[in-house]
Amino acid sequence: VEASIPEPQREAWKRNQITSFTDKDGFEKEVVRHVETTLARSMFNCDEIAAYSATSLAFRDRLITHWNRTQQRQTYRDTKRVYYLSLEFLMGRALDNAMLNVGLKNVAQDGLAELGFRIEDVVKQEHDAALGNGGLGRLAACFLDSLATLNFPAWGYGLRYRYGIFKQEIIDGYQVEVPDYWLDFNPWEFPRHDVTVDIQFFGQVNKKTVGGKTISVWEAGEIVQAVAYDVPIPGYDTPTTNNLRLWSSKASGGEFDFQKFNSGDYESSVADQQRAETISAVLYPNDNLERGKELRLKQQYFWVAASLYDIVRRFKKSRRSWNEFPDQVAIQLNDTHPTLAIVELQRILVDVEGLEWDNAWEIVTSTFGYTNHTVLPEALEKWPVGLVQHLLPRHLQIIYDINLFFLQSVEKAFPDDRDMLRRVSIIEESQPKMVRMAFLAIVGSHKVNGVAELHSDLIKTTIFKDFVEIYGPDKFTNVTNGITPRRWLHQANPRLSELIASKCGGNDFLKDLTILNQLEKHVEDKQFRKEWAEIKYANKVRLAKHIKDTTGVVVNPASLFDVQVKRIHEYKRQQLNIFGVIHRYLSLKAMTPDQRKKQLPRVSIFGGKAAPGYWMAKQIIHLINSVGAVVNKDEDIGDLLKVIFLEDYNVSKAEMICPASDISEHISTAGTEASGTSNMKFVLNGGLIIGTCDGANIEITREIGESNIFLFGNLSEDVEDLRHAHTYGSHTIDSDLDKVFNEIEKGTFGTPHDFSAMIAAVRQHGDYYLVSDDFHSYIETHQLVDEAYRNQDEWIAKCITSVSRMGFFTSDRCINEYAEEIWNVEPLVVDRH
């Protein structure tokens, strides 16, 4: 690496190499320097925000030095890189994570204490980076942590939204959305104004003859500029610091179109600028739903084109032949959102670089892998052909050609199956015609994976069945999701992490999570159980305080904490949970005071955002809050039942909530939740789960043992028949659920009309999510939970056993599987310095 600096200057550069701080004094010096120079403040007006900013800047300087060395090393060794394309990266806070990953949190804690600050308060000043909706975005963030920790040469590519997921406020029991402007002061990004890419939209395609060859030229469109912003991603206990590159949109030609400006057309020059900036302005707030908006397609192409330009530019520096592209580059598509990358790379290779179609297509398909995250039909992306034609005329031609060659090969293999061609065509012959993005992603990739075993089986037997026939089963694989134990155990639950370390021979388990299995031999250790229980209790006290501070409701930390936090969606069935809560309330009300005394106190905790346009999800939030308003002030009930809705669930709240749960709910209709990842977070933090046989719950059960999980409900294989029976047979509602409905309709929880649609969905509209079918089993299983919790000693033993068997669910295991089975990349081993 050094050799790249000319001999005469080398000595001066080496002599002045930056040395990062390693101790308290060094850290304090940096903080004071940043307070007094970068922030232009003084020790006399340094508040917690300034302390946060200066601490972050001190760590940022450290990261960027390691970032530089990592990039130099990767460039020098010229090995294959992974590019993870995701429209969402739900990163949460960076400071705490950076301090822990570089192993200097204690140093910072002591240093800040000497300067007059508590590190917990300083860390809390940071705004979450919330560039995602839920599981899909958080998975991308966990993957970045694992890629860096395992020393893979890897880059994330995303959009730098000015507004991330909205902030949720609950006003009079209803969700209100408030914009999340998070970029005010963000020390974690480096603007790269020198890295800009011109992105074209609209225009037309002209044929031209160059050297006897006819080529297609895409011309006369509108240009928008993409500007790169880099976010350093530190690995845990390694100098490797990878890059997340986020693109921001800007009008081309600088601030204004000066010609328009000078000719007096000031307004329209500002309007042009605003239109360009709109592209990266806001994250679409839908989880598991695609609404086919033009701006969303613009976002997708803008981000994909900028990223590919960058990737191709980096590859070209190595002066290798195009056929080596797939040996140097692996691109993973996080769902179908970046599928246009397939078309864009084909366009670059054929139109710009002049490769033959077949040669180019071989390179393209060897480069891409596609991860599917959902089977819900409303979430599968389809774009109207007319819209693609208008926005990206050349890309539509290429899509048609890809489809033509694909269908020709299918016809050859299945000569007598006309319907097969209709079924698998990338173009759906509907009114209007649509481009099916998942099919395009399959055809343009060499591997397709689901995110949990059941889910990967389901895609092979349902939505992608025909493609398994066409390509054979080997193109389809499973990579069960995982979570990073650094953030979700070490950072979120430091006391538990420390207790575990004391039994597992130090912190190595954070890099090899299977080491957790050493806990199992201590399960019978009374002192260990006691410490374990104390930590859980302390975490519950912390959450109880947060509940008191934010809702005013006092909850008893000795109660069983029952938690369901995730996006609000009918398939995730928060309605089943709240109906169950009402059932519990009615049962308690029907008891004598003596009977009540024998009951186990419970706190039902909900949290999660509803997509702003998802009316039914908003009704569910309203019902939860309405039930809470009645139950929480009912003096007959007291501590026996509290119902809490926590406002604005996000990554940093999850870090507080997961460690405080006794039981968490993962109760989706079987076959609908592709994986789920919060189920893993809750078990890893010493909580048990109640769940359906869905997604990763099934593999969690296999790992931790059936006696350590509360499973209930119908199985995925029976769902279709049940739905059919609801629609075509006679549909009777569970009698206990019926009583719950009657109580709601009596007005016990406010105006019954507000909730009539939720009830009608079950009674009149075929109960698509099987709430009634699973209700009895759900209630019975909650009774088992109560009974089990009464025996605290055994409960704690179950928790410890479960944690000891969770090693499989680290995102490190996941990333190693992707690396081996899909990317064919190896880590770049680094010496420590």
Applying CB under 6 A, the residues found at the interface with ligand KOT are 133, 135-136, 139, 286-288, 290, 335, 373-374, 379, 451, 481, 673-677, 695
Q: CB count, 10 Å around CB of 820?
A: 11
Q: CB count, 10 Å around CB of 218?
A: 19
3-state secondary structure of 705: coil
- At position 799, the amino acid (one-letter code) is C
CB of 452 to ligand KOT, least distance (A): 7
Rounded distance, CA 603 to CA 589, Å?
A: 16
Catalytic residue among 81, 373, 394, 540: 373
Cβ closer to ligand KOT: 671 or 695? 695
CB of 47 to ligand KOT, least distance (A): 38
Cβ closer to ligand KOT: 141 or 828? 141
CB of 698 to ligand KOT, least distance (A): 13
**Spatial CA neighbour of 437 closest among 469, 468, 463, 475:** 463
- At position 604, the amino acid (one-letter code) is S
Chain center to CA of 800? 27
CB of 341 to ligand KOT, least distance (A): 17
Cβ closer to ligand KOT: 331 or 696? 696
* Token duo for residue 459: 């895609």
* Token duo for residue 212: 């006897």
Cβ closer to ligand KOT: 438 or 704? 438
CB of 694 to ligand KOT, least distance (A): 9
Catalytic residue among 62, 394, 447, 572: 572
CB of 291 to ligand KOT, least distance (A): 10
3-state secondary structure of 427: strand
Cβ closer to ligand KOT: 335 or 662? 335
Terminal-residue alpha carbon distance, the chain? 15
Residue 175: beta bridge partners?
A: 170
DSSP state of 163: B
Cβ closer to ligand KOT: 139 or 276? 139
Side-chain half-sphere exposure of 6, counting CA atoms within 13 A: 2
Rounded distance, CA 409 to CA 414, Å?
A: 9
Cβ closer to ligand KOT: 133 or 625? 133
Rounded distance, CA 19 to CA 13, Å?
A: 13
Cβ closer to ligand KOT: 166 or 741? 166
Cβ closer to ligand KOT: 87 or 660? 87
DSSP state of 159: E
| Residue 596 to residues 662, 786, 787, Cα–Cα distance (Å) | 21, 14, 15
Catalytic residue among 681, 782, 798, 805: 681
- The per-residue DSSP string of 452-517 comes to SHHHHHHHHHTTTHHHHHHH-GGGEEE----B-HIIIIIIT-HHHHHHHHHHTTSGGGGTSGGGGG
CB of 647 to ligand KOT, least distance (A): 22
CB of 140 to ligand KOT, least distance (A): 9
Would you call 15 exposed, middle or buried from its count of C-beta atoms within 10 A (0-12, 13-18, 19+)? exposed
Chain center to CA of 561? 25
3-state secondary structure of 449: strand
Q: Is 530 tagged catalytic?
A: no
Rounded distance, CA 6 to CA 25, Å?
A: 35
CB of 159 to ligand KOT, least distance (A): 13
Catalytic residue among 34, 455, 567, 782: 567
The H or E element that residue 207 is part of is strand 204-210
CB of 142 to ligand KOT, least distance (A): 10
CB of 338 to ligand KOT, least distance (A): 12
Chain center to CA of 480? 14
Q: Is 589 tagged catalytic?
A: no
CB of 380 to ligand KOT, least distance (A): 9
Rounded distance, CA 391 to CA 382, Å?
A: 15
The dihedrals phi and psi of 13, each to the nearest 5 degrees, come to -65, -40
Rounded distance, CA 578 to CA 740, Å?
A: 10
Cβ closer to ligand KOT: 27 or 368? 368
User: Sheet holding 329-334: strands in order across?
Assistant: 190-201, 222-234, 241-251, 154-159, 81-85, 329-334, 368-371, 447-450, 476-478
Cβ closer to ligand KOT: 300 or 481? 481
**Spatial CA neighbour of 645 closest among 663, 661, 625:** 625
- The per-residue DSSP string of 591-653 comes to S-HHHHHTSPPEEEEEE-PPPTT-HHHHHHHHHHHHHHHHHTT-TTTGGGEEEEEESS--HHH
Cβ closer to ligand KOT: 98 or 670? 670
| Residue 401 to residues 415, 426, 499, Cα–Cα distance (Å) | 20, 10, 60
CB of 344 to ligand KOT, least distance (A): 20
Catalytic residue among 480, 551, 677, 692: 677
Rounded distance, CA 546 to CA 557, Å?
A: 12
What per-residue string of b and e applies to 771-808 under the rule 16 or more CB within 10 Å gives b?
bbbbbeebbebbeebeebbeeeeebbbbbbbbbbbbbb
Q: Is 566 tagged catalytic?
A: yes
What per-residue string of b and e applies to 735-764 under the rule 16 or more CB within 10 Å gives b?
ebbbebbebbeeebbbebebbbebbebbbe
Q: Is 291 tagged catalytic?
A: no
**Spatial CA neighbour of 620 closest among 683, 548, 570, 555:** 570
Q: Is 373 tagged catalytic?
A: yes
Annotated catalytic residues are 373, 566-567, 572, 677, 681
